Amino acid sequence: MLRDTLIALLIGFVVTAIACPLFIPVLHRFKFGQMVRDDGPKEHLKKTGTPTMGGISFLAGILVASLFLIPKYKEVAVVFLFTISYGIIGLLDDILKIKKKQSEGLKSSQKFILQLVVSVIFIMYLYKIYGLDYGVLIPFTGSFDKGIILKLGVIWIPFALFVILGTDNGVNFTDGLDGLCSTVTVIVALFFMLIGLKGSFSVTPVTGAVIGSLMGFLIFNAYPAKVFMGDTGSLALGGFVSSYALMCRIPAFIAVVGFIYMIEVISVIIQVGYFKATKGKRFFKMAPIHHHFELCGWSETRTVTVFGIVTIILGILVYLFM
């Protein structure tokens, strides 16, 4: 399994590293540029016009690598289809943003309905496999043969929906600095790979496809970014993280290994709630929280590096106590 995972990693990397320099000029030609929020950090205004929808390039890498894996690992197809479905929702959002020439594409209600439909179909698939016998491994309690497994019964169905929607929003919010979402997700996928290999999950090789594809994308997405992943990429990655974790019955691990995703969402919730409660005051300088650190004087590269280090440390802790 490790060999196939590493081959998928190499395939994903090569395909994406080749696709990006071919795809970026096309995005420029059709003027598929990023629309930057007016209320964001002023330094980000210079990024207006940088090509977006770059997530298509690493999704191509994941696709080719997955085609190599699927004949041998059938469950890879499930995670890939869920990932690409969320990517398509993001693509629609990106296209509308470009068409409207503003930072909002799909309405919140429209996006939620599309996400809900895709998520329910995936949860129905999980129900077919596990029924109401779905168990969640609790982090820091050991591996599946020794750790604490919490049986949720019928509660796991709304729980799974919460995991998917919460994770996807978290990954989406994390995509706000050059290379941030790509870097954090490479690390998350790496530890998911190690956990999957330890548990011998047949879906594990798909992590190699994601890691390699994102590494190829980072060549062009790291600061200063030549291309952004857009919602096409961030929603797809949220779909990958949540579907893989649910398939392996480790969704609780997202709160630890994917702590950055969680804190990004929580910072927005706190900011909005505090703003309403105090009638205009702000808890953070700006939300999501990566913008708060920017306005505190951190550079983009420092923020990405620190968030990446935090993810590595938490991933090591999770892996050591499995």
The annotation places the binding site for Mg(2+) at: 172, 231
pTM for this predicted structure: 0.93
**What pLDDT was estimated at residue 33?**
65
From first CA to last CA, the distance across the chain in angstroms is 20
Burial class, 61, CB count within 10 angstroms (exposed 0-12 / middle 13-18 / buried 19+): buried
Half-sphere exposure of 200 toward its Cβ, with a 13 Å CA cutoff?
2
Mention every residue, 6+ apart, whose C-beta is less than 8 A from residue 134. 126, 151, 152, 156, 160, 249
Mention every residue, 6+ apart, whose C-beta is less than 8 A from residue 278. none
Give the pLDDT band (50/70/90) at residue 98. confident
**What pLDDT was estimated at residue 41?**
62
With CA atoms as reference, report the closest residue to 245 among 316, 205, 311, 189. 189
pLDDT above 70: percentage of residues in the chain: 94
Is the pLDDT at 111 greater than 70, yes or no? yes
**What pLDDT was estimated at residue 32?**
74
Which one is predicted more confidently, 240 or 129?
240
Phi-psi region of 153 (alpha: psi -120 to 50; beta: other; left: phi over 0): left
Q: Which residue has the tokens 């060549």?
A: 219
The annotation places the binding site at: 172, 231
